[in-house]
Structure 1
Amino acid sequence: MTEIKDFHAHVYFNPESREAAARVRQGLRDRFEVQLGRWHDANVGPHPQSMYQVLFAPEQFGEIVSWLMLNREGLDILVHPTTGDDVADHTAHALWLGKKLALNIETLRKMTS
């Protein structure tokens, strides 16, 4: 077993769902000790859609992921650990809430090679 440093949740949105993404973000900010990343209104890294990232500790996983399951407002969310293997973290170790989006894994491979 590899050590999990922390978790990332990537909350995906488009122009029509940006307000819903803002409500989810505010809910996370109000309820949890998380680190909220900036809004990315264009594709960044392996992510095929606009998104923001939420970073949280392993001991928060159950509470935060449970909350996201019930309060994601129809948004697609990627949750993955940080183990030091970016490719595996975004693929084999990942879980999806909503639709599984096609990530550009080649971007991660280039960043780690």
Structure 2
Amino acid sequence: MSSLYSFPNVHQAYHAHVYYDADTEAEADVIYQTASASSLPIDLGRFHRKCVGPHPKWSFQIAFDKNAFDEVMAWLEDHRGDLTVFLHGVTGDDYVDHTDHVGWLGKSVALRLDIFKPKS
């Protein structure tokens, strides 16, 4: 199935990371609570008030599968406001997932990729 977004729906699973900081935490919390109360077919991760993994900003994760892709992407676009959302496929290769299988809603930011070891 093709997507309405420049990021193609070609993976079995996805993670979307909503980025925020101290100045936008309240806006992110509204998105988090709204997602939590929604009927979206998602798994909602923790609301981190620190940088986690390769993410250079505070974030929370929304996990979903390819069948929910269009619905979740449309929901994120409608609810993210000015916040950036980093999207990546989940294939089992973290380095490739965070470098080659990526998309952005909003302004992209550099990830801390040195935590990953590329698979040979």
Query: How far did 1:28 drift?
Result: 1.8
Query: How far did 1:22 drift?
Result: 1.2
Query: How far did 1:31 drift?
Result: 3.4
Provide the secondary structure at the position in 2 that maps to 1:109: coil
Determine whether 1:88 maps to 2:96.
Answer: yes
Query: How far did 1:9 drift?
Result: 0.5
Determine whether 1:17 maps to 2:20.
Answer: no
Alignment of 1:54-93 (within 5 A): 54-93=62-101
Kindly report structure 1 stretches of 4+ aligned residues shifted beyond 4 Å: none
Separation in 1, partners of 2:52, 2:14:
18
Separation in 2, partners of 1:26, 1:33:
15
Greater alpha carbon shift after TM alignment, 20-29 vs 72-81:
20-29
Give the TM-score taking structure 1 as reference length: 0.87
Separation in 2, partners of 1:50, 1:67:
20
Amino acid at match of 2:106: G
Greater alpha carbon shift after TM alignment, 48-57 vs 23-32:
23-32
Separation in 2, partners of 1:42, 1:36:
17
Q: 2:109 aligns with which of 93, 97, 101?
A: 101
Greater alpha carbon shift after TM alignment, 70-79 vs 30-39:
30-39
Give the TM-score taking structure 2 as reference length: 0.83
In structure 2, stretches of 5+ residues that fail to align are 1-9
Separation in 1, partners of 2:79, 2:52:
25
Query: How far did 1:97 drift?
Result: 0.6
In structure 1, stretches of 5+ residues that fail to align are none
Structure 1 residues 73 and 31, CA gap change in structure 2 (3 angstroms)? farther
Q: Name the Cα RMSD after superposition.
A: 1.8
The size of the alignment, in residue pairs, is 110
Provide the secondary structure at the position in 2 that maps to 1:16: coil
More helix per residue: 1
Query: How far did 1:71 drift?
Result: 1.5
